Amino acid sequence: MPYQEKELAFVGDQKADFYRQALEESEAFRADYAARKGIVKSSEMYWEDSPDGKIKHIINEKMNTKECALDMYMQFLDPEGRSGKHRHMSEELFFVLEGTGYDLHWDVDFELEDDYTWIWSKEPKKFEWKEGDIVYVPPYSIHQHFNSDSENQARLLITTSRIPKALGFDWFEQVENAPGF
């Protein structure tokens, strides 16, 4: 007997109110959104000694701001210091506010047969940067920042997207901690 979608369309008796729930959730979000911060003063930004190093959160999903798609922080690298080594599903952009250094990126490739197989480069690519540069880090690439100056601190303004996490791809891994953590 050939497949008859029309017959199957009316099979089952489970009931739901997902659509109504979505309308209520959206209404609650809009009411909450109106009360969120539209400007964050420097004194309201949070400092953190993290596994990735010393950072100052400019925008973070936990800060109750109107921003719903991006996280942004400043990262401070001591003279000849380095960040932790990590990877996440979101691409990353950073602007070099001050200092000179380099990044190491272990790019990822994957195979898809029965499931995903992630394969990272054995050798990293090196990208030199200096004040005024913007550096792109591809999604899920293992990466690490290094300050090459022996006397001065480097400061990076880092931005990542929350969208992959919101879509269910909450894949974030600290591969190696920053010194002192």
Q: Give the pLDDT confidence of 56-97 residue by residue, as tens digits.
A: 999 999 999 999 999 999 999 999 999 999 999 899 999 999
Distance CA 141, CA 92 (A): 10
Strand ranges, E, within 43-180: 46-50, 53-59, 70-77, 85-88, 92-98, 100-106, 108-112, 116-120, 125-130, 134-137, 142-147, 154-161, 172-176
Domains located in the chain, CATH noted: 41-176 (2.60.120.10)
Give the pLDDT score at 64.
Answer: 92
Distance CA 164, CA 156 (A): 23
Predicted model pTM: 0.85
**Short-list 51, 160, 148, 149, CA closest to 104:** 148
User: How would residue 9 be classed by pLDDT, with cut points 50, 70 and 90?
Assistant: confident
Q: Residue range 140-153: average pLDDT?
A: 96
Distance CA 146, CA 21 (A): 48
Distance CA 78, CA 28 (A): 44
Cβ distance 29 to 66 under 8 Å?
no
Q: What single DSSP character describes residue 108?
A: E
How far is C-alpha 32 from the geometric centre of its chain's CA atoms?
Answer: 24
Cβ distance 46 to 78 under 8 Å?
no
- Averaged pLDDT score across all residues of the chain: 93
Q: What is the torsion angle, in degrees rounded to the nearest 10, for the CA atoms of residue 22, residue 25, residue 31 and residue 33?
A: -90
